[in-house]
Homo-oligomer: A and B are copies of this chain.
Amino acid sequence: MTVGVVEVSPRDGLQNEAEILPTARKIELIRRCVDAGARRVEAVSFVRADRVPQMADAEAVMAEVPRHSDVSYIGLVLNRRGLDRALAAGVDEVNCVVVATETFSRRNQGASVDAMVQQWAAIAGAAHAAGRKASVTVAAAFGCPFEGEVAPTVVADLVRRLAAAEPDEIALADTIGVGVPAQVRQLVRAAAAAAPGVPLRAHFHDTRNTGIANALAAVEAGVRVLDASVGGIGGCPFAPAATGNVATEDLVYALHRSGHPTGLDPRLVIGTAAWIGDQLGKATVPGALGRAGWFPAEPQ
């Protein structure tokens, strides 16, 4: 059974690296990911350049991404202004982020959870009116760096409210990398019940070495789309110690060896991981496959 992978390195990855890549390099990263088989790419975010300087050139990036009929570019937006920029820049999908806990929402987005639910509804309505897809990510769904444990009922209630705006997809994000598979199964079940018929996506960080376990558990629980970042680059600068999106190459290894093709070419993904590591001045990227090599020797 095929599993889709949303390549988030151009946005979630680069946004959380100290090094700011030139626009041309960002476009090359996206091109390499698409060449490796990525069909959904979180390419940019349309947020305040003074808060996120890494994404100040979002329009310039979108102007030059390789366009293919089967490749969909996602822009992250948090409000109506961002949405207008995203639509003008020609994104195929917008993704909004709503944090599950009040403290993290206010610190990360400067807005309450209620305010963000309203922002999301406005974004979804306008995106749909413009003929674009709109998805929403529930951040800190597995735990909050400020409030600690997050009850599954809190996440389910939020998913229910977000579903009212008719999202094309809802993502559950373990923003700080604290989840375990048992929790993944519980949350996926709760989210599916709270938003019947809405496709679920999941987003894991490898901060505490549970990212791959969680990704496979999500697939077993019915999730068919996972976020990943080539090389494992990126994290979240607003969440203490939250290093490490799940590396695309590690996820591809685990999925392919488990009988889940992704459409990605492991050799090209591993090559892109090494390339982006070089661009960011890293001796090694977090992803393990580049060091260990595929098994058996030839990627399949």
Give chain B residues whose Cβ lies under 8 Å from the Cβ of A211: 209
Is A177's CB within 8 Å of the partner chain B? yes
Within 8 A of B (CB), among A92-147: 143
B243 touches A206 (CB 8 A): no
Would A258 and B295 be within 8 Å (CB), given that A209-B212, A288-B207 are in contact? no
Q: DSSP majority for the A interface?
A: loop
Would A295 and B206 be within 8 Å (CB), given that A180-B257, A258-B180, A258-B181 are in contact? no
Q: Please give the residue numbers on chain A whose beta carbons come within 8 Å of chain B beta carbons, in ascending order.
A: 143, 148-149, 176-178, 180-183, 206-213, 216, 241, 243, 247, 250, 253-254, 257-259, 287-289, 291-293, 295-297
CB distance from A159 to the nearest CB of B (A): 22
B206 touches A288 (CB 8 A): yes
Would A288 and B148 be within 8 Å (CB), given that A176-B295, A216-B180, A257-B183 are in contact? no
CB distance from A293 to the nearest CB of B (A): 6
Give chain B residues whose Cβ lies under 8 Å from the Cβ of A247: 209
The residue that A212 contacts in the complex, of B178, B213, B258, B291, with Cβ under 8 A, is B213
Report Cα–Cα, A190/B89, bound state, in Å.
55
Of all chain B residues, the one with the shortest Cβ separation from A256 is B180
Of all chain B residues, the one with the shortest Cβ separation from A145 is B295
CB distance from A250 to the nearest CB of B (A): 4
Report Cα–Cα, A210/B247, bound state, in Å.
12
